[in-house]
């Protein structure tokens, strides 16, 4: 059992994030918990960590598989003083921060996939879910939720995601300290958050693009009932994917699930 609240608190003392820390052996969703804390006025940098979640959330009512004793499930409250339209930049910055930290454990194998998946050897190792609470002035707070598969085994994944998901231990063949990883994660997130607030989106965006192999490729996007394909050109200031399509020229997609077309064709050929 590598979570130990006392040691975690000591490790985070004096760091920008985690001055206030809430730990739960079991909770519904760390995002829901953080949201409640945010509404009650919790300060920026307040962190929620759970050993397991019974209602771990993905986007669009999807489930985040969250068994006990193996992974990181965490959410942080941020109160950036910028306009609501920039809120998606937070998830993009978080993707960059996670990817950079995971690179330290398995160099050269980490990639980013729009909108905010982190992949290890092409499989999903981390999901990010940001929820924004607005008020009359703009952003009240953002709950940034991060799930990282750390020591989970292949057989512990539900069958439907077994070939799509992976963990640090599966790919590196060793057990990783969740405590050490989460401390590095929040240090690095603080670094990128500070950069985003002080210097704007360009450095974050540049780093994100450098780790996203789908840029420059033909991709297929599922967005609601729509399937759109085209060449991925980049992302804009709102984190939307800029796509060059045959039918409509350059368009922007705010939300969806993206796959590189070559990979779809490879999977079809393999079947």
User: Min. distance of Cβ 74 from ligand BT5 in angstroms?
Assistant: 6
Stretch that binds ligand BT5, among 29-37, 185-193, 196-204, 208-216 (CB under 6 A): 29-37
User: Min. distance of Cβ 139 from ligand BT5 in angstroms?
Assistant: 19
Q: Which residues pair with 18 in a beta bridge?
A: none
Stretch that binds ligand BT5, among 25-33, 82-90, 184-192, 234-242 (CB under 6 A): 25-33
Sheet arrangement for strand 47-53: 21-27, 47-53, 72-78, 138-148, 123-135, 117-120, 110-113
- Within residues 105-144, the interface with ligand BT5 by CB under 6 A covers 124, 127-129
CA dist., res. 95 & res. 100, Å (int): 8
92 binds ligand BT5 (CB under 6 A): no
CA dist., res. 91 & res. 191, Å (int): 14
Residue of 89, 91, 149, 188 that binds ligand BT5 (CB under 6 A): 149
Which residues, 6+ apart, have CB-to-CB distance to 152 below 8 Å? 67, 70, 71, 167, 169, 170
Give the CA count within 13 Å in the CB-facing half-sphere of 15: 23
Residue of 10, 15, 62, 162 that binds ligand BT5 (CB under 6 A): 62
- Within residues 195-254, the interface with ligand BT5 by CB under 6 A covers none
Stretch that binds ligand BT5, among 8-16, 24-32, 39-47, 183-191 (CB under 6 A): 24-32
CA dist., res. 118 & res. 141, Å (int): 24
Q: Which residues pair with 213 in a beta bridge?
A: none
Place of tokens 């003083």: 81
Catalog residues that contact ligand BT5 under the rule CB under 6 A: 29-31, 53, 56-60, 62, 64-65, 73-75, 124, 127-129, 145-147, 149, 161, 165
């Amino acid at each position: 059992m590598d979570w130990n609240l006392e040691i975690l608190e000591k490790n985070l003392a004096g760091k920008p994030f985690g001055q206030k820390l809430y730990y739960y052996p079991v909770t519904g969703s760390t995002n829901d918990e953080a949201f409640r804390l945010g509404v009650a006025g919790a300060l920026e940098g307040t962190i929620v960590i759970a050993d397991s979640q019974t209602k771990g959330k993905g986007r669009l009512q999807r489930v985040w598989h969250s068994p006990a004793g193996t992974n990181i499930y965490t959410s942080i409250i941020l109160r950036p003083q910028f306009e609501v339209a920039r809120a998606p930049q937070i998830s993009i910055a978080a993707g960059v921060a996670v990817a950079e930290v995971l690179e330290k454990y398995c160099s050269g194998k980490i990639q980013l996939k729009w909108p905010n998946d982190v992949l290890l050897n092409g499989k999903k190792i981390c999901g990010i879910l940001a929820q924004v609470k607005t008020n009359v002035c703009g952003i009240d707070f953002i709950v940034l939720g991060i799930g990282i598969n750390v020591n989970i085994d292949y057989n512990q994944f539900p069958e439907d995601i077994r070939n799509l998901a992976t963990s640090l231990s599966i790919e590196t063949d060793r057990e990783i300290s969740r405590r050490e990883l989460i401390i590095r994660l929040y240090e690095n997130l603080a670094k990128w958050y500070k950069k985003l607030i002080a210097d704007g989106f360009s450095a974050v965006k540049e780093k994100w693009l450098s780790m996203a192999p789908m840029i420059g490729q033909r991709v297929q996007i599922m967005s609601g009932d729509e399937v759109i394909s085209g060449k991925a050109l980049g992302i804009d200031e709102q984190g939307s994917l800029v796509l060059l399509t045959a039918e409509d020229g350059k368009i922007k997609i705010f939300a969806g699930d993206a796959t590189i077309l070559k990979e779809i064709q490879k999977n079809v050929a393999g079947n």
